[in-house]
Amino acid sequence: MADPNADAVVRQMRDAIIDTDLKLVQAINSRLAMVARLRAYKRAQGMEFVDQAREDWMHSYLQAANQGPLTSEGLREIYGHLLDLTKRETREDPPA
């Protein structure tokens, strides 16, 4: 059996995948920083942080923009995880 670590095509595809993964991490960190700023502003203005209507709109907007191969169900799942992560990571009182 061929060694995938020695295969040039496998190495090239793996390199492309890790480059994309790095971009995902950078995008998530950027999103977290923006949401933290928004959360602080809303707090200072006496506004509630979570806006369910806005979250519903964002889900619909992203579903319409998604051209696949990510399925609608997959997008809903990953975006739900992203919203949960964002709320947890931008809390002022992180768990001990």
Q: Mind listing the pLDDT tens digit for each residue in 29-57?
A: 999 999 999 999 999 999 999 999 999 99
Residues ≥6 apart with Cβ < 8 Å to 75? 62, 63, 66
Position 26 in a domain: yes
pLDDT value, residue 2: 82
22: left (phi over 0), alpha (psi -120 to 50) or beta: alpha
* Mean pLDDT value across residues 72-90: 95
**What is the C-alpha to C-alpha distance for residues 22 and 54, in angstroms, rounded to an integer?**
28
| Residues whose CB is less than 8 angstroms from the CB of residue 36 and which lie 6 or more positions away in sequence, other chains included | 90
Residue 96 in any domain: the answer is no
Q: What are 1-36's pLDDT values in tens digits? A: 888 888 899 999 999 999 999 999 999 999 999 999
Tell me whether residue 57 is in a domain: yes
What range does the domain containing 60 cover? Answer: 4-89
If one counts the domains in the chain, the total is 1
Give residue 94's pLDDT: 53
Tell me if 23 is assigned to some domain.
Answer: yes
Is 95 part of any domain? Answer: no
Residue 58 lies in a domain: yes
Distance CA 88, CA 95 (A): 9
